[in-house]
Amino acid sequence: MALINEHFLKLQSSYLFSDIAKKVNSFKVTHPKDKIIRMGIGDVTQPLAPAVIEAMHKAVDDLASTENFHGYGPEQGYSFLIDAIIKNDYASRGVFLEPGEVFVSDGAKSDCGNIGDILRHDNSIGVLDPVYPVYIDSNVMSGRTGVLEDGKWSDVVYIPCTEENNFTPELPSRRVDILYLCYPNNPTGTTLTKSQLKKWVDYALANDTLILFDAAYEAFIQEEDVPHSIYEIKGAKKCAIEFRSFSKTAGFTGVRCGYTVVPKELTAATLTGERIPLNRLWNRRQCTKFNGTSYITQRAAEAIYTPAGKQQIKENIDYYMNNARTMKEGLEAAGLKVYGGVNAPYIWLKAPNGIGSWRFFEQMLYEANVVGTPGVGFGPSGEGYIRLTAFGNHEDCVEAMRRIRKWLA
């Protein structure tokens, strides 16, 4: 008889966004004439950059000829893309990587979930609260989280990011083996300065903690003192793995491409104390379980680093950040407390009068026909908040703010 991985049974019955979809569909049935403005799921709306489209067409033509045909590619990614990543995303910021330290994938979400394959099941983990659900759920599947009690997993160290600490979390109250950090932060849209991030790197080095650093939204950073990579901090290569994504940067949510950096000097221990390079383990994992990102997709990603591609991508990012500014100003004008929206395309909106997240979600849906994401879905410290995304059309952002102001007037 085949036995299942019973840790999967500990997962909540449905993913957060599935619950939202059910409530929205129920509303549509009873209010078929009302136009809903969706600001919940962080999916992009602007088309791919012309440079990207041109590169994809050329890559398709390559596959149509014997001379330029590409079959299976390297599991780690083609050198043309890896070289462009190192030159533009790292060397330009004073961070120097070897080609063998960059692994191209189909997105940061996959790698954030799969990285646990190379780490023991009994590692202790710490997460910022509120937290991107993938960090928690992937560890539930691996048996690292214990049992769910009053909205918290018993073996997870939750590090609150709240209004009280200005969304600047304190170091963990006890030592953890693995620490998830996401900056710019999803869902709160807040950031850390270099000096603030250095405290976390110093903690990791002092406590032999592995940092899993999700930098999926780094391209949206506007302020000078906010680091784009954890490797801008001295010593981080000895304690951190970094995840990057082209999904929001270049609108690749439907194309699927990202990459993970695993420095060769980063090690973790066996039970006997032997130090093993994680780069070697991740490479072995990828070669076994991943056949590589498609040639067409990688040529598309390479194109964002061309002069034309950079300009076009910047225009798209500016478009979304203009949305964020419009939303932030509109919500503040309505008398609401708003966080984020400066270095990230997310608005973290505090519900008025102590209303709970799901209650505020339903009120906003039924009274303003605007969909957000209940903050409590991201963890206990998210209760009383709503996450709004700036990835919609600008006209919809303006209209949504008008509706919310009218509703709350």
Residue-wise pLDDT tens digits, 323-356: 999 999 999 999 999 999 999 999 999 999 999 9
* Cα(128)–Cα(144) distance, integer angstroms: 16
The domains of the chain, with CATH numbers, are 12-47+310-408 (3.90.1150.10), 53-307 (3.40.640.10)
Name the β-bridge partners of 261: 102, 242
**SS3 for 387?**
strand
> Percentage of residues in the chain with pLDDT exceeding 70?
100
Q: Does residue 367 carry a pLDDT above 80?
A: yes
Q: Tell me, what's the pLDDT at 27?
A: 95
How high is the mean pLDDT of the chain?
96
Q: Tell me, what's the pLDDT at 12?
A: 82
43-59: average pLDDT: 97
Residue 74 sits at the vertex; the CA angle it makes with 73 and 78, to the nearest 5 degrees, is 85
Q: Tell me, what's the pLDDT at 16?
A: 82
The H-assigned helical ranges of 5-102 are: 16-30, 50-63, 79-85
Q: Tell me, what's the pLDDT at 53?
A: 98
Residue-wise pLDDT tens digits, 273-322: 999 999 999 999 999 999 999 999 999 999 999 999 999 999 999 999 99
Residue 230 contacts residue 263 (beta carbons within 8 Å): no
173 — pLDDT class (breaks 50, 70, 90): confident
12 or 363: which carries more pLDDT confidence?
363
Q: Does residue 13 carry a pLDDT above 80?
A: no
357-376: average pLDDT: 97
Cα 67 to the center of its chain, rounded Å = 38
Q: Does residue 409 carry a pLDDT above 90?
A: no
Q: Tell me, what's the pLDDT at 227?
A: 98
Name the β-bridge partners of 338: 349
Q: Tell me, what's the pLDDT at 15?
A: 72
* Cα(39)–Cα(372) distance, integer angstroms: 5
* Cα(130)–Cα(102) distance, integer angstroms: 29
Name the β-bridge partners of 259: 104, 244
- Phi and psi at residue 319, to the nearest 5°: -60, -50
